[in-house]
Homo-oligomer: A and B are copies of this chain.
Amino acid sequence: MGVVIAFDSGTDKPKASLDQLVKLTHADMALVNDFILEKAQSHVELIPELAGHLINSGGKRIRPMLTVAAARMCGYSGLHHLKLAMSVEFMHTATLLHDDVVDESDLRRGKQAARIIWGNQASVLVGDYLLGQAFKMMVETGSLDCLRILSDAACTIAEGEVLQLSVSQDTATTEDSYLKVVGAKTAALFQAAAKVGAVIAGRPRKEQDALESYGRNLGIAFQLVDDALDYSGKQADLGKSVGDDFRERKITLPVVLAFRRGGEKERGFWKRVMEQGEQTTDDLSYATKLMVKHKALSDTNERARHYGSMACDALAIFPDSEWKDALTEAVVFCISRAH
């Protein structure tokens, strides 16, 4: 059965939130947090210092929550899902540290990026350390299937990041190519995070596949909304600077749509700012104006809704439960961030 997502755009209804997911996973996530703090320790002081900066910076921990909620929805009552959740968060944290070096970002979650405080060198190496710790924890679960899924994800994420480098600054990027990047750099981890919940619970293939599909489509929706917010969000909500993608000349879906829907003169603008990298102070607001004119932002959000619906439908095979409700609401929340 299909699920109707109640989007609240244009209405006065209260926005969807992660509250239910946060509430249900609260006890488990407290243990995951303990693990995270414990495993970010090292006798080399710089490691907990740098890792702690990012770990305590108020990320929503949505990926490890997916692992915990998926395992619980599948009736899992052991403790290994906590180790998997920690591994997922460390893989994500390692990616952020390396991303900030690659993107030369100054801000992360509203704070100075670690690389600004401790340097690129330490960010690369502490990222490597966290990735190593993630694998150590996966090994502790003794599940070769989970190890396979998460090491596959690690490769795919890196592959997606390299692909993004190759297509970056290329205005000829198609929506399909861009979706490949998103599928790899963002959705692969969401997908693995949700799937290992079913795997550790020993559930049959069709439930593993359902959670894989849920995670994948949620991840794509999440990234697309993020791309739109980079042009339309408020800096205080974003935890990063509005226009970062623009300044880093990243070709995201709003740019792809605006470029394709624009005339020759507008395409010349996009080539100048994105390909030649010649940007002046007024260019960001002109770019946003073009996106609004061509409905590039609202259609990016519309595309996100499409993937969000697929995520919710994927959960249909599971019996009704508060876990299922919470996972469904998480999708609605991710999409409603756009408004």
Contacts of A165 in B (CB 8 A): 46, 121-122, 125
A133 contacts chain B at the CB level, 8 A cutoff = yes
Q: Chain B CB within 10 Å — which of A45, A102, A142, A162 has the most?
A: A162
**Given A101-B120, A139-B151, A142-B144, CB of A162 within 8 Å of CB of B125:** yes
Q: Once the chains are docked, how many angstroms separate the CA of A109 from the CA of B24?
A: 54
Residue in B44, B46, B147, B162 whose beta carbon sits within 8 Å of that of A47 in the complex: B162
Q: Mark A135-149, 1 if CB is under 8 A from B, else 0.
A: 110110010100110
**Given A102-B121, A139-B148, A147-B139, CB of A155 within 8 Å of CB of B126:** no
Q: Interface residues of A toward B: which range?
A: 35 or more
Total identical chains? 2
User: Does more than half of chain A's interface fall in helix, strand or loop, or is it mixed?
Assistant: helix
A128 contacts chain B at the CB level, 8 A cutoff = yes
A166 contacts chain B at the CB level, 8 A cutoff = yes
Q: Say yes or no: A162 contacts B98, CB within 8 Å.
A: no
Q: Once the chains are docked, how many angstroms separate the CA of A46 from the CA of B138?
A: 29
A50 to chain B, nearest CB (A): 8
A120 to chain B, nearest CB (A): 7
Q: Say yes or no: B147 contacts A124, CB within 8 Å.
A: no
Considering only CB atoms, which chain B residue lies closest to A167 in the complex? B44
Q: Say yes or no: B166 contacts A154, CB within 8 Å.
A: no
Considering the complex of A and B, which 4 residue pairs feature the smallest CB-CB distances, nearest first?
A: A132-B155, A132-B154, A129-B158, A135-B151
